[in-house]
Amino acid sequence: MLYLFCIEKVVIGYMKLKYKILLQNAIPGIIWMLVLVGGYTLFRIFFADLNDAIWNNPFIKPWMVYIIYWLSELFFGIFPPEVFMIWAANHTKELLPYIIKVIEFASISYIAGYLAFIAGRLLVNDKLLAKLGLQSINRYLPFIKRYGLFIIIVAALTPLPYSGMSLIVGIARFSTKHYLAYALFRFIRYGITGFIVYQSHLIG
């Protein structure tokens, strides 16, 4: 399972140098964001009319976008949040409404992660874990319980599957109070990414 592989990367990274794994996972996310935002900026400059037609399609209602985003976050980030921020920048046109939408997206991601965390706390039955292919998580439980803080922060700030990592931290019975506090780093990531997306939207 992808989530067990991610946990193993975090375990190895922490044992070597805990901030190294954060950097290793952040770099691909930064590269992906720059490629996506850069491509979007060039497309908007050279194909302005087509760009407006795509992002302001009258058949695509805001409630549809939010449903897709909810499903994406609940199912471990099927679509990158930058895509929804680009939609928001084109849909709102102004800074304040855009900020509100970015906060809404961050809140949805935060809640989706918490729901996955709760689901993880309920997955204490070995048979259920086996059906999900997570039975081997048991060997990581001591580490996850001890260093859940670091795992949550890495997942919140990097492209690691946030809800999936939250699920596993929940399986380890990590403190709910501490999870909710450390998961707030998710808002930092959305704030930085949202700022970059909006600045690219002003170009051209």
Q: Give ∠ CA 91-96-102 in degrees, rounded to 5.
A: 65
CA atoms within 13 A on the CB side of 125: 6
Nearest to 109 by CA among 64, 78, 138: 78
Give the pLDDT band (50/70/90) at residue 199.
confident
**What residues have CB less than 8 Å from 40, skipping those under 6 apart?**
86, 200
Domain ranges within the chain, ordered by starting residue: 2-202
Angle between helices 62-74 and 81-92 (to 10 degrees): 160
DSSP assignment of 23-58, as one string?
HHHHHHHHHHHHHHHHHHHHHHHH-HHHHHHHHT-T
23-77 per-position pLDDT tens digit: 556 666 667 777 777 777 777 777 767 667 667 777 778 889 999 999 999 886 7
Q: Give ∠ CA 40-70-180 in degrees, rounded to 5.
A: 105
* Residue 104: predicted pLDDT: 96
Give the pLDDT band (50/70/90) at residue 190.
very high
**What residues have CB less than 8 Å from 2, skipping those under 6 apart?**
161, 164
